[in-house]
Amino acid sequence: MPEQDSTPVPPAASPETTSQETAGVPSSSGPRVSRRGLLTTASLVGAGAIGAAASYAVTRPSGADAQPAATAVVPFHGEHQAGIVTPVQDRLHIAAFDVTATSRDDVIGLLKDWTSAAEAMAAGREAGEGGAVGGDYEAPPSDTGEAMGLSASNLTITFGFGRSFFVTDDGAPRFGLSGRLPEALIELPHFPGDQLEPQRTGGDLVIQACADDPQVAVHAIRNLSRIAFGRARLRWSQLGFGRTSSTSTSQQTPRNLFGFKDGTANLKAEEPDQLSEHVWVAPGGKPGEQWMAGGSYLVARRIRMHIEVWDRTSLGEQEAVIGRTKSTGAPLSGGQEFTEPNFEAKGRGDAPLIAMDSHVRLAHAATNKGVKMLRRGFNFTDGNDSLGRLDAGLFFIAFVRDPRTQFVPMQNRLASSDRLSVEYLKHTGSGLFAVPPGIKPGEYVGQGLFA
């Protein structure tokens, strides 16, 4: 720092108060004034404190004593569980559990405890009696406390049951649930290119927590997994940031880690007929499956992206692989983002403008017998692998009425023919869960299953 060396700053100029100015530092340095102002304040309050206060004010408008803003609460009760068609939040923490409890009563007890904690947290309250600081001084607090002072942040908590919840590996019923396994809750087949890691796959139960604040989502999963100790054990969990689809027309289409808009053609909350057709399980099914009416099936796939390879790919090829422009998301057949792709449009040499092996063509309802899904995926980055490449991608979540006719055929098609999937993606985790319908106050999640 030659400048300081040549400047007669007293050695004891501990906090950089006004010493530089008084020491005759040339006044030509423009930013000095504001910097001094900041430093002065900092020296009064303490730099750490002001930093924290500033970010607090910006990102967390409801202070410690403030009531959660009513606008940031998504109702927990209803015909369907929240977290499906409710507008997608920005953050995800999803977790799958293996049930270690062996009795039906213990499982029901767990679901009841989860329900009441979820009700509280979704409303922006603390989990458990006494919460984080109001309980017995000699006992550990019942809420872990890291969400104190935060708003509900539109937290939604969505519960689901995996196939292994109903039957053991030998096909014997668990928890007296004989005849209750829905036929649609299949064992997902092996898809081409699957490189599933057992520790990221399967699970008896799943909890999807979404919020606008990551701390709120993590807080929810943390408290629920704590409640489960002794009855269920965490099997895998995943953090996600940056939603990669919209479930409402009020939301902009976000971008995935490939930099492309994702979920342009997604089903939206404003399309109730479409939701009935593609997302909600209809009433009037088999007697043992009635409990699923109004529910849905959650498909979870951890999709690792070969980010580095993608980044070496020319823009032209990136667009050809996706079938849309990177800028506006318009299909290559022309128009704007929401213009329907024209798969018939031909370009030079009669080659289709939207390539036969492009993602938009192969994922489109027109290629999939009209089948659609409600997508709710999130970007993820879990550090890097041992080769120094980002372990990043898309945590794909979709809700469907029947995975056998919706997800499975589409995934088979994409995994074998979609250039995007074939060359740039690798599926490392997987799960399929039956998501029961919503509940009324006083009920517990999945009550219909045990009725």
Residue from 174, 306, 361, 375 binding other proteins (CB under 8 A):
306
388 lines the binding site for other proteins (CB under 8 A): yes
3-class secondary structure, 85: coil
**Least Å from the CB of residue 389 to other proteins:** 8
- Take residue 269 and report the two structure tokens written for it: 């909350």
Binding mask 286-305 for other proteins (x = CB under 8 A): --------------------
Please tell me whether residue 338 binds other proteins under the rule CB under 8 A: no
Q: Which of 35, 104, 369, 389 binds other proteins (CB under 8 A)?
A: 389
**In whole angstroms, what is the distance from residue 407 CA to residue 7 CA?**
70
Pairing of strands 232-243, 374-375: unpaired
> For residues 355-384, which are near other proteins according to CB under 8 A?
355-357
Q: In the bound complex, what is the minimum distance in angstroms from residue 187's beta carbon to other proteins?
A: 11
Residue nearer to other proteins on the CB measure, 346 or 369: 346
Residue 340 binding other proteins, by CB under 8 A: no
When the beta carbons of 147 and 355 are compared against other proteins, the nearer one is 355
Instruction: State yes or no: residue 198 binds other proteins (CB under 8 A).
Output: no
Compute the distance between CA of residue 328 and CA of residue 346 in angstroms, rounded to an integer. Answer: 21
Residue 295 has, within 13 A of its CA and on its CB side, a CA count of 29
Place of tokens 């899904």: 373
H helices of 140-188, where?
Answer: 163-166
Task: Please give the torsion angle defined by the CA atoms of residues 311, 316, 320 and 325, in that order, rounded to the nearest 10 degrees.
Answer: 90
* The binder of other proteins chosen from 40, 62, 215, 339 (CB under 8 A): 339
- Report how far residue 16's alpha carbon sits from residue 444's, in angstroms, rounded to the nearest whole number: 60
Q: What is the 3-state secondary structure (H, E, C) of 288-356?
A: HHHHHCCCEEEEEEEEEECHHHHHCCCHHHHHHHHCECCCCCCECCCCCCCCCCCCCCECHHHCECCCC
Q: Single out the residue of 72, 87, 74 nearest to residue 249, CA to CA.
A: 87
Helix, strand, coil distribution of the chain in percent, nearest 5: 30, 20, 50
Q: Say whether 198 sits in a helix, a strand or coil.
A: helix
Tokens found for residue 98? 């293996």
Q: Of the two residues 267 and 410, which places its CB atom closer to other proteins in the complex?
A: 410
Binding mask 398-427 for other proteins (x = CB under 8 A): --------------x--xxxxx--xx--x-
Among 317, 340, 366, 369, binds other proteins (CB under 8 A): 317
Q: Does the footprint of other proteins cover residue 330 (CB under 8 A)?
A: yes
Could you give the 3-state DSSP secondary structure of residue 120? helix
Distance CA 64, CA 132 (A): 13
315 near other proteins, rule: CB under 8 A: yes
Task: Please say which residue, 121 or 415, places its beta carbon nearer to other proteins.
Answer: 415
**Considering beta carbons, is residue 257 or 435 the nearer one to other proteins?**
257
Write the binding mask 157 to 196 for other proteins: x where contact by CB under 8 A, - elsewhere: --------------------------------xxxxxxx-
Beta carbon of residue 323, minimum distance to other proteins (angstroms, whole number): 10
Q: Supply 16's token pair.
A: 């950089």
Is residue 348 at the binding interface for other proteins, with CB under 8 A as the rule? yes
φ and ψ at 144, to 5 degrees?
Answer: -70, -20
Rounded to a whole number of angstroms, the minimum distance from the CB of residue 127 to other proteins is 42
Binding of residue 312 to other proteins (CB under 8 A) = yes
Which of residues 25 and 390 has its CB atom nearest to other proteins in the complex? 390
Interface with other proteins includes 232 (CB under 8 A)?
Answer: no
**Nearer CB in complex with other proteins: 72/415:** 415
> Is 217 one of the binding residues for other proteins (CB under 8 A)?
no
Cα(256)–Cα(444) distance, integer angstroms: 35
Q: How far is Cα 79 from Cα 429, in angstroms, rounded to an integer? A: 30
CA 225 to chain centre: 17
Task: Give the tokens for residue 227.
Answer: 């409640």
Residue 94 CB, shortest distance to other proteins, in Å, is 25
Closest separation in Å from C-beta 115 to other proteins: 38
Q: Are strands 232-243 and 425-435 parallel, antiparallel or unpaired?
A: unpaired
The footprint of other proteins (CB under 8 A) covers 189-195, 306, 308-309, 312-317, 319-320, 325, 327, 330-336, 339, 345-349, 351-353, 355-357, 386-389, 412, 415-419, 422-423, 426
